[in-house]
Amino acid sequence: MEILIDSANLESIRELNDLYPIDGVTTNPTIVVKEKRTFLPLLKEIQSIIGEEKMLFAQVLGEQAEDMVKEASYLNEEINGNFYVKIPVTDEGIKAIKLLKLQGIKTLATTIYTPLQAFIAAKAGAEYVAPYVNRIDNLAGNGVQVVSDIIKIFEHHHLPCKVLAASFKNTQQVHHVCLEGAHGVTAAPEIIKSFTAHPSTETNVRQFMNEWKSFYGESSNSIIKKN
Ligand code: G3P
């Protein structure tokens, strides 16, 4: 199962990529705008942090399929390595996914709210679909159930498309899409950090250290002998 950082903040990406088993970075126009940087150099800098083997996703802005295809081809030429173009699942977006598949450009179908949007995008040739779990919940839907249904549809119909669940407000949502068998999650840095945070873990670690020091001495905070 893959874990991606949903951010374009270089500092957060550097920190999380160093700490955790991160598989890549996803961005969208909102996330990019927050950084107040020129788009392409920002993407290249993200890639230089994570390396060319890890996945990098960036979204097109065109509304017509032809424009999306042009933007996708441009980005795909400019960005080396394991690059994916995010295409919203509008009708024109589905057409663009079909055309990009023919050109061998990898796509992720984004802004997914229903299982059938995911189905049509997968059939058009998207490598990934990104259902928006929290945004579905906010519309009185059930984001985890949508993820679960998409996975079932892909399995029943042998569609070689992965479900990268996106849009999370809490770890509970992430926990549940993991249980449903999502192929990956992309989450904001603060959500990823909360995967490991637990007050009892911190208390235990502090307690182990205090007990160690009470016998071996205050300055002994390592098991490696110092000369
Ligand atoms: O990758 C999709 C994501 O950026 C949407 O997340 O948290 O803005 O709903 P959010």
- Domains of the chain: total: 2
**Greater model confidence, 218 or 140:** 140
Ligand 1: which residue has its CA nearest to atom 3? 167
Nearest ligand 1 atom to the CA of 28 is 4
Q: What is the pLDDT of residue 219?
A: 83
Q: What is the pTM of this model?
A: 0.96
Task: Tell me the residue type at 165.
Answer: A
Query: Tell me, what CATH number does 151's domain have?
Result: 3.20.20.70
Cβ of 186 closer than 6 Å to ligand 1, yes or no, is: yes
- Interval 129-135 mean pLDDT: 98
Residues 116 and 87 in one domain: yes
Residues 202 and 167 in one domain: no
Cβ of 132 closer than 6 Å to ligand 1, yes or no, is: yes
Q: Are 183 and 164 in contact (CB under 8 A)?
A: yes
Q: What is the pLDDT of residue 225?
A: 77
Displacement of CA 168 from its chain's centroid (Å): 11
Among left, alpha and beta (phi > 0; psi -120 to 50; other), residue 217 is left
Q: What is the pLDDT of residue 120?
A: 98
Q: What is the pLDDT of residue 126?
A: 98
Domain span at 212: 198-227
All residues at 6 or more sequence positions from 200 whose CB lies less than 8 Å from its CB, including other chains:
none
Which of 4, 27, 139, 167 for a ligand 1 pocket mutation test, highest count of atoms within 8 Å of Cβ?
Answer: 167
Residues 112 and 223 in one domain: no
Residues 51 and 138 in one domain: yes
Rounded Cα–Cα distance for residues 41 and 55 (Å): 17
Residues 158 and 70 in one domain: yes
Residues 126 and 209 in one domain: no
User: Is 225 among the residues known to form the active site?
Assistant: no
Task: For residue 221, name the pLDDT band (cuts at 50, 70, 90).
Answer: confident
Residues 149 and 175 in one domain: yes
Task: For residue 156, name the pLDDT band (cuts at 50, 70, 90).
Answer: very high
Residues 221 and 161 in one domain: no
- Interval 145-162 mean pLDDT: 98
Residues 225 and 169 in one domain: no
Residues 132 and 20 in one domain: yes
Q: What is the pLDDT of residue 226?
A: 64
Q: Going along the chain, which residue ranges are E strands? A: 2-6, 24-26, 55-59, 83-88, 107-112, 128-131, 162-165, 184-187
